[in-house]
Structure 1
Amino acid sequence: MTEAAPFYADLADGPEGGHALWADTPDRRRIRIGLWPGGTRGTVLLLPGRTEYIEKYGRTARDFQARGYAMLAIDWRGQGLAQRALADRLVGHVDDFDEYQRDFDTLIAVAQAQGFPRPYFLLGHSMGGCIGLRALMRGAPVNAAVFSAPMWGISMAAWMRPVAHVVSALARPFGQAHRFAPGTNDQTYIATATFQGNVLTTDPEMWHYMHHQIRTQPDLALGGPSLGWLRAALRECGALAALPSPRLPCITALGSAEKVVDAAPIHLRMAAWPGGRLDHYLGAEHEVPMEQPVHRNRFLQESVRLFDANR
């Protein structure tokens, strides 16, 4: 079932016709889907990262629509305006990453029900890249995929990795899975960090765009991940690493200043991806689609070139 959901068009700064729908997942969670119709060449299914929300990609929808592509984006369960798992809505939590696959399946169902044009193309950023890779391995009905700094591994100090595995694994049996992971709290990074030294973008205008959204609509904000989320993420990254890449045309974008996700698994996977390519963005931080215009434009051009070639 779908019905109209709140959508902050002024904050999204996307193309005309943008709106949002509530959608119920197979396990009865309410998520929010952002829709930007208007393209005729196909539909981009945008999978955001952890803490993100559909309005953040309004300008991306504008860029794709100008090149003939419609776009859908999703508020994953537990973030944006989607249903949150815990009473403390600032804790990012799931018990298992398989839950996100139910959200993805719902996104596909909405695209089909709303008559969005085929073919479909996947664009996954950060955590959305992790979810998107699993969806591709499950046979997602897309013709090609683009990833931006996909979370195929979590960046942490070498000494911290075994600690994280042990602590997160013990959290659930001891009833602590809902607690914030070590080193995180209820603060939203974009709202509390300063532009100087941030790990997301080197572009001050895009930083302001994201910062203004959270300051204006704090209900979109999310704090750190729970111990349960950390356990689920580590397990999913490990499971994906053991599986071969799908035979699907793919480009992955990675900034040379990446500090949020572990770059090593990205290099390993893309070196062995049939028909895949790793594009390096010199000086870019984690969010290549929100980077300096030179990086942003290149990312868009390469994505559209891939989509056009696989229509």
Structure 2
Amino acid sequence: MSELPQINDDILHPTPDNPAPEDFTAGYFAGHRGARLRYALFRSHILPARGTIVLLHGRNEFIEKYFETIRQLNDMGLWVATYDLRGQGGSERLTKDPRKGHVRRFSDYEKDLEIFLEQIVLPDARLPFFLVAHSTGALIALSAAPRLSNRISRMALCAPYIGFHNQPASEKLVRPLARAMAWTGLGGMQLGGDHRIIPFEGNGLTGDRPRFERNIELYKTFRELTVGAPTARWVHETLKAASRVSLQAHLTKITIPTLILAPVLDGVVPYRLQEELSRNFRAGQLITVTGGRHELFQDKDIYRAQAMAAIETFMPGLDGGLDIFETAA
């Protein structure tokens, strides 16, 4: 790790309305096939540390969007290690047009995660290691989980991206279209419009206006951290992975105790799919957040607090804290 850049001020982008947690190291690491990925490690002021959260973002998200959540996790005595997914945030873009949300193979995401654990988390963070992931990040975690049991103690997956609704075209139509485009050399074309800046009214992401407006201001101020519509290849690869991880044959291979934080009013991923996933997931426990929307960590305090409380109760379970699985049995 000593060979990686350590100049924090040039890497993260705090603002007066969105300050960074105090004690952090930021830099870049080489992901799969040498992709330059931006990361940060945030240390808790509480000693001894209760462990480290590996935080995986959703599509078109970036480290700065999670400063508030990271500070709260630090206040729980947890370190946080996180990075921007390839092709978005402060990480290297994968096409000539930086506005495209793209990935070559879904497995590239998984290999990036494994490299991050080996090169950044294992040498420099505090045991035990937990994983918290949102949306696309949760899909990555589900896909990689059968190979992570010797490194990750527990997982909390918020609104895992295992399908979608409330879009201009239905998933039933988009799946074969994206597959055909990916197979015929059109995988680099974008599907849908550029919806980085949307109005608060009617959004399916969050019911909290101040947090929504804070994030929109981040999108406007740091446009280079954002991407527009996903490519056909991205859609095809992620939906293919979503189908695979939802199969009971895959879920039975996951032995890491897992929470599924499922917002009932999710405007992106149908709650029904998250509920079905939990029924086939022996290591999984569904936590229903009634009234919550897709971005629980950006939602109203009443819903966000439920997610954070579940994480605080569940993650430090190895030190004798309350075990949700035991109480639910």
TM-score by length of 1: 0.92
1:120-168 per-residue CA deviation (whole Å, 9 max, x = no partner) reads 1000100001001112122251111101101122336898434323221
| In structure 2, C-alpha distance between the alignment counterparts of 1:247 and 1:174, rounded to whole Å | 38
Contact residue 129 and residue 152 of structure 1 kept, 8 A? no
> Which shows bigger deviation, 241-250 or 286-295?
241-250
Residue 144 of structure 2 corresponds to residue 135 of structure 1: yes
For 1:290, give the aligned amino acid.
Q
1:50 counterpart residue number: 59
Output aligned runs, 1:121-270, within 5 Å: 121-140=130-149, 141-155=151-165, 160-181=170-191, 184-188=192-196, 191=197, 193-242=198-247, 243-245=250-252, 246-270=254-278
1:72 counterpart residue number: 81
TM-fit CA distance, 1:194: 1.1
1:7 counterpart residue number: 12
Residue 126 of structure 2 corresponds to residue 117 of structure 1: yes
> Which shows bigger deviation, 104-113 or 73-82?
104-113
| In structure 2, C-alpha distance between the alignment counterparts of 1:135 and 1:310, rounded to whole Å | 22
Contact residue 44 and residue 120 of structure 1 kept, 8 A? yes
1:273 counterpart residue number: 281
Alpha-carbon distance change, 160 to 199 in structure 1, aligned in 2, over 3 angstroms: closer
SS of equivalent to 2:26: strand
| In structure 2, C-alpha distance between the alignment counterparts of 1:64 and 1:198, rounded to whole Å | 27
Alpha-carbon distance change, 3 to 273 in structure 1, aligned in 2, over 3 angstroms: same
Alpha-carbon distance change, 161 to 214 in structure 1, aligned in 2, over 3 angstroms: closer
Task: Report the aligned-residue RMSD.
Answer: 2.0
| In structure 2, C-alpha distance between the alignment counterparts of 1:165 and 1:285, rounded to whole Å | 24
| In structure 2, C-alpha distance between the alignment counterparts of 1:152 and 1:261, rounded to whole Å | 7
SS of equivalent to 2:188: coil
Identity level (%): 23
1:105 counterpart residue number: 114
> Which shows bigger deviation, 153-162 or 125-134?
153-162
SS of equivalent to 1:118: coil
| In structure 1, C-alpha distance between the alignment counterparts of 2:284 and 2:183, rounded to whole Å | 40
Partner residue of 1:61 out of 61, 70, 86 = 70
Contact residue 79 and residue 126 of structure 2 kept, 8 A? yes
| In structure 2, C-alpha distance between the alignment counterparts of 1:45 and 1:238, rounded to whole Å | 24
2:327 counterpart residue number: none
Contact residue 64 and residue 71 of structure 1 kept, 8 A? yes
| In structure 1, C-alpha distance between the alignment counterparts of 2:112 and 2:18, rounded to whole Å | 22
| In structure 2, C-alpha distance between the alignment counterparts of 1:275 and 1:228, rounded to whole Å | 31
2:39 counterpart residue number: 33
SS of equivalent to 2:292: coil
Across the two proteins, how many residue pairs are aligned to each other?
305
Contact residue 46 and residue 123 of structure 1 kept, 8 A? yes
1:287 counterpart residue number: 295
1:28-58 per-residue CA deviation (whole Å, 9 max, x = no partner) reads 1111112211251100011000000011111
| In structure 1, C-alpha distance between the alignment counterparts of 2:166 and 2:289, rounded to whole Å | 22
TM-fit CA distance, 1:12: 4.5
1:204-224 per-residue CA deviation (whole Å, 9 max, x = no partner) reads 111122112111111111111
Alpha-carbon distance change, 146 to 159 in structure 1, aligned in 2, over 3 angstroms: same
SS of equivalent to 1:21: strand
SS of equivalent to 2:20: coil
SS of equivalent to 2:5: strand
TM-fit CA distance, 1:310: 2.9
For 1:222, give the aligned amino acid.
V
1:17 counterpart residue number: 23
TM-fit CA distance, 1:290: 1.0
Contact residue 127 and residue 150 of structure 1 kept, 8 A? yes
SS of equivalent to 2:34: coil
Residue 103 of structure 2 corresponds to residue 94 of structure 1: yes
SS of equivalent to 1:236: helix
